[in-house]
Structure 1
Amino acid sequence: MGSDLRGPRVTGSAVHAAEFIVSSARLGELHECSALLRRTRIRAEEIVDEARALLIEAEIQGDQERIVIRAAQLDEARQSYCKVLNAYVTICRRINEERQEIMQTLTGLSGAT
């Protein structure tokens, strides 16, 4: 037999428990997203460092053509890193705001009767 939609309603505590589960899962997703962004930022830093090392190598060898090319590559890597860093900071800020909203909701749920 199917469910009785006219039966007793779900109690408030059951709704709060479901909201807690959803909020906890969302916090887990936010944590994973933050970790991925951190790895992306770290890799962008590594790329800048590699470009800088290649420029230094060209300078040591005195190869003017390679110096110009490597300097342009370093500049491009720095610009890309700035974009990644700005995105990282923006998304981390948004994640933190959402985390605070979830925590306020959970605090409100735990204080409710």
Structure 2
Amino acid sequence: MASDLRRHGSADAAVGAAELIVSSARLAELHECSALLRRTRMRAEGIVEEARTLLAEAELQGHPVRILALGAQLDEARRAYGKVLTAYVTICRRINAERQDIMQAQMRDERPAGLSGVV
């Protein structure tokens, strides 16, 4: 009977270790996505700023056709930036959730069996 308990305990430990490996890999992938979205977000900010500058120049020069076209481009750049920013925030939240899941699993695995934790 004791050997059965040890076998299940080691299987549970192996499952826990495998889950930790999968979670860690998923976290690494999320970090890679985050880095890519951070660079994309910075580039999108630059595009919005460039569109804003071009629109301001057109307004100073009094080119109504260019003002309309650049205004539309600025709006489009802002919408695209909003989408990138939303994706970046979503990834950051997912990273935090994944970290929390990993920490909770580690704390659960490190807690001695049979103790309630109440002193």
Matching residue of 2:57:
57
Unaligned runs of 5+ in 2: 1-5, 114-119
Structure 1 ranges of 4+ moved more than 4 A: none
1:58-97 pair list within 5 angstroms? 58-97=58-97
Letter in 2 for 1:54: L
What is the SS of the residue equivalent to 1:99?
Answer: helix
Give deviations 1:11-50, integer Å, cap 9, x for gaps.
2444443333333222212211211221121121111011
Kindly, what percent of the aligned residue pairs are identical?
66
User: How far, CA to CA, are the matches of 1:79 and 1:20 in structure 2?
Assistant: 38
1:1-113 pair list within 5 angstroms? 9=7, 11=10, 12-111=12-111
Q: Are the structure 2 counterparts of residues 33 and 111 from structure 1 closer, same or farther at C-alpha, using a change threshold of 3 Å? A: farther
Q: Are the structure 2 counterparts of residues 27 and 44 from structure 1 closer, same or farther at C-alpha, using a change threshold of 3 Å? A: same
Task: Please report how far the alpha carbon of residue 66 of structure 1 lies from its aligned counterpart in structure 2 after TM superposition.
Answer: 0.7
Query: How many corresponding residue pairs?
Result: 106
Unaligned runs of 5+ in 1: 1-7
